[in-house]
Amino acid sequence: MQTPDNNNHKVSPFKGKTGIPRLINAFGYSLEGFKAAFEHEDAFRQEVFLAIVLIPLGFFLGDTSVEKALMIGSVLLVLIVELLNSAIEAAVDHTSTEHHALAKRAKDIGSGAVFLALTTVLIVWSLMLTN
């Protein structure tokens, strides 16, 4: 049961945990999120498989620690942005499955963010490999 906070807003019953129990719960929720994205999002699965190839290559092909960090970080950025995009899409679809201009805009903006993250990988890797 949700209880109101001082501003009369409904607060999640899970918000009361602090310290180590909160960290344990947060870790569990994160794993559930990764699992859900992998099971339900084709793009995330494809990007994970790409990351499985590119991250070890980044360790091998990067000459310096900074190059390795940039190459690997750019790949991880794609996964992060894809998770956020998938969350936006799920929230929009939960609200309504009807076509709406704002729903389309939200989904398109999320897709644009993924495109920029993928472009970042291409730029970073191109610069590092042609150096």
Domain count across the chain = 1
pLDDT of residue 7: 58
Classify residue 95: in a domain, yes or no: yes
Average confidence (pLDDT) over 71-97: 95
Gap between the Cα atoms of 33 and 10, Å rounded: 23
CATH number at residue 97: 1.10.287.3610
Identify the pLDDT of residue 18: 84
Does residue 73 sit within a domain?
yes
Domain contains 65 = yes
> What whole-number percentage of the chain has pLDDT above 70?
89
Tokens for 116?
């920029």
Reported confidence tier of residue 1, pLDDT bands at 50, 70, 90:
very low
Residue 110 pLDDT greater than 50, yes or no: yes
Confidence class for position 4, pLDDT limits 50, 70, 90: low
More confident residue, 9 or 60: 60
Query: Which distant-in-sequence residues (6+ apart) come within 8 Å of 83 by Cβ?
Result: 33, 34, 37, 44
The reply to whether 14 falls in a domain is no
For residue 107, being part of any structural domain is answered with yes
DSSP per residue over 11-73, as a string?
E-GGGG--HHHHHHHHHHHHHHHHHHHHHH-HHHHHHHHHHHHHHHHHHHH-SSHHHHHHHHH
**pLDDT tens, position by position, 58-68:** 999 999 999 99
Q: Which residue range is the domain that position 95 belongs to?
A: 42-129
Residue at 32 is within a domain: no
- Is 21 a member of any domain? no
Q: Is the pLDDT of residue 17 over 90?
A: no
Q: Could you confirm whether 82 is annotated as catalytic?
A: yes
Convert the pLDDT of each residue in 81-91 to its tens digit.
999 999 999 99
Give me the catalytic one of 39, 47, 67, 82: 82
In a domain, 4, yes or no: no
